[in-house]
Amino acid sequence: MSGSSQPLRIVIVGGVAGGATAAARARRANAQAEIILLEKGPAVSFANCGLPYHLGGEITERKKLLVATPELFDKRFQVDVRTTSEVIAIDRAARTVTVVNLQTQATYQLHYDRLILATGSEPLRPDFWTSGVRNVFQLWNLNDLDAVLAMMRERQPQTAAVIGAGFIGLEVVEQLHRLGIDVSLIERNPHVLKPLDADMAAPIAEEIKKQGVQLYLNAGVEKMITAGDRAVALQLQDGRRVESDIVIVGIGVRPRVELAHAAGLAIGKQGGVTVNAWMQTSDPLIYAVGDMTELPHGVLESPQRIPLAGSANRGGRIAGTHAATGQAANMGVVLGTSIVRVFNLVAASTGINEQTCQSAGFDYRTAIIQAADHATYYPNAHEMILKILYAPDSGRLLGAQIVGESGVDKRIDILATTLHFRGTIHDLAQLDLAYAPPFGAAKDPVNMIAFVAQNDLAEHPTLLPAAAALAGWQVVDVRTAAETQALPLAGAKHIPIDELSLRWQELDPSQPTVVVCHSGKRAHIGACWLSGHGFAKVRNLTGGMSMRRHALSH
Ligand code: FAD
């Protein structure tokens, strides 16, 4: 492959998710190749996704985070791992990289036949972060984790502020709270977890507050108030002040593409390195994988930068195989499928949300249901909220979001799989899924939401968005008296569902009519009844009052 008697030399830059996977896979694919893995940090193949859980003590031993050591790479894979080795330049013409040994500062050139870049991304550092303060951190690698833990041992913080309510921020909040620390969470956006729509994020915000965490939404940090080498509080743009003994910043990441950029490799519109289906950059001898790349999105079609571990590992496998053998399967698409636990709730999403549909100009409809994770007559059933977005013409699934206590992981993966195969709500309705009372329902929640969406498209009857303005509609509230008292719906005509077949003549069939209940289930029955009795235009408020409350809460 190298065109000489020398073995093919594969050099990999970055030794964690994508890089370590590429190294191991390249060895399995090519027993003769020389494989060199360069990592600027002190460790390779550590579990960055596990960092928050060691912080809070849920993962008790730090060494469990070291998934594979340089010694293991050496013994098992004959991979030459060089830690504290930073690559500072690529010379494409000479096919060399310049490496700095960060311990000795010695610099050397290393020839490559194939080069795999897996330099990941870098956490954003906000302008308000005063340099020199010792109690403000990011949680990105083992050094960060060790620094936070050392500070916590030394100062025993009683209060903490976490800036950024993304995945890492929420995981850190949960873990600091677990340690008995009084936590504040500050988020600039109007809701937590950007991949979720506001209505689906609202139950997560409620859970955070229920646990005693102070949640600041729509809250930009203006400045850090310091005393000596410590931040003591954060000044918010609206004038509020959040006192804190320790601050963790998790406001997002940017791809580390400086090396690739300086080497003249093509960079895409999203700021990630452009790659083909085998992870080759614009220079076919150089591959790029993981957070630093942008990859074709399964719904948007265009390349997107989605910094998640799954695609980094898949990309590493493909680049490792292709670099070692000259052929490999295709990378395929990304969907941004993700999941996070937030105290007693789990939030997950795949595909695109309403905001992305709107900015991408997609015509879409939504369905929302509440369903139990398994048969309700079997003990410990928990409700989850499912939301799907689909195309009105074809019924093609565009995205899905779920919030619940259990069974969320299984459903989001079913929905992601359907998305991967460009499936429709009709495919979802047909899925033949495993069922026994402890595990699911004979009509699984993903079947159920597809039935709702099919009804919607078949106008049997059509759904109205949970937050829709109800002026001009004849609103029929089919909940019980106790439910309407607990959460009133102004202007609605109250006819409990079990009285509707006797009292529907009290309504005006010529008026556009929307039927409302708690979740949309009884409203569907009511709406079918009214449609069947000649009402001109009948709608069901999707997700019912429980989702309307969330949708209007922000
Ligand atoms: P990384 O795994 O970040 O590896 C890049 C490596 O390259 C780094 O070690 C860096 O030191 C090295 N490097 C950079 N430049 C150079 C250079 N010039 N020379 C030598 N070495 C260099 N994703 C999920 O899907 N689920 C989760 O639950 C999840 N949780 C996370 C929690 C935390 C705290 C963090 C930090 C990330 C989490 N992620 C999660 C994201 C996931 O870890 C990343 O998407 C994934 O690690 C990206 O892989 P990568 O190979 O592109 O980069």
- CATH (residue range 463-552): 3.40.250.10
Domains 9-120+254-325 and 344-458 share a fold: yes
Only one residue has tokens 């699911």, namely: 440
Cα(first)–Cα(last) distance of the chain, in Å? 59
Ligand 1 centroid from CA 16, angstroms: 6
* Closest protein CA for atom 45 of ligand 1: 308
Percentage with pLDDT > 70 across the chain? 99
Whether 357 is catalytic is no
Q: Where are the domains of the chain?
A: 9-120+254-325, 136-251, 344-458, 463-552
* Tokens read off for 482: 């106790």
Instruction: Copy the structure tokens of residue 257.
Output: 């593409």
How much is the pLDDT for 268?
98
Half-sphere exposure at residue 460, Cβ-oriented, CA atoms within 13 angstroms: 7
Give yes or no for residue 166 having a pLDDT over 90. yes
Q: Is the pLDDT of residue 554 over 80?
A: no
Residue of 48, 51, 248, 265 to test ligand 1 pocket, by largest number of atoms within 8 Å of CB: 48
Q: Distance between CA atoms of 29 and 11, rounded to whole angstroms?
A: 15
Q: How far is CA 343 from the centre of its chain?
A: 16
pLDDT at 553: 82
Mean pLDDT of the chain: 97
- Ligand 1 centroid from CA 393, angstroms: 40
* 85: β partners: 101
Look at domain 136-251 and name its CATH class: alpha beta
Mean pLDDT of 493-497: 98
Tell me the per-residue pLDDT of 411-460, one tens digit each, with 9 for 90 and over.
999 999 999 999 999 999 999 999 999 999 999 999 999 999 999 999 99
Considering only CA atoms, which of 421, 523, 508, 437 is closest in space to residue 473? 508
Band (pLDDT 50/70/90 cuts) for residue 2 is very low
What percentage of the chain has pLDDT greater than the value 90? 98
pLDDT at 1: 45
β 96-101/230-236 pair status: unpaired
pLDDT surpasses 90 at 161: yes
Q: What is the per-residue pLDDT for 36? A: 98
What's the 48 CA to ligand 1 centre distance in angstroms? 7
pLDDT at 5 over 90: no
pLDDT of amino acid 4: 54
**Which of 11, 13, 16, 100 is the best mutation target for the ligand 1 pocket, counting ligand atoms within 8 Å of the beta carbon and taking the most?**
16
Reference 267, options 278, 255, 253, 277; nearest CA is: 255
Mean of pLDDT values over 550-554 = 85
The single-letter DSSP state of residue 486 is H
Which of 296, 387, 295, 309 has the alpha carbon at shortest distance from 348?
387
Tell me whether strands 246-249 and 136-137 are parallel, antiparallel or unpaired. Answer: parallel
Cβ contacts of 477 within 8 Å, gap of 6 or more:
484, 489, 492, 493, 494, 495, 516, 517
- pLDDT on residue 276: 98
CA of 315 to the centre of ligand 1 (A): 13
Instruction: Please give the order of strands across the beta sheet that includes 474-477.
Output: 462-464, 537-541, 512-516, 474-477, 493-494
304 C-beta neighbours (distance < 10 Å), count = 22
Q: Does domain 9-120+254-325 have CATH number 3.50.50.60?
A: yes
Ligand 1 atom with the shortest distance to the CA of 141: 36
Q: For ligand 1, which residues put their CB under 6 angstroms from it?
A: 13-19, 38-41, 48-49, 51-52, 86-87, 118-120, 139-140, 167-168, 256, 259, 290-292, 307-310, 312
Ligand 1 centre to CA of 252 (Å) is 13
Q: Residue range 470-476: average pLDDT? A: 97
Fold of 344-458: FAD/NAD(P)-binding domain (3.50.50)
Q: What SS3 class is residue 117?
A: strand
Pocket test for ligand 1, best of 25, 37, 49, 103 (most atoms within 8 A of CB): 49
Tokens of 125: 């550092």
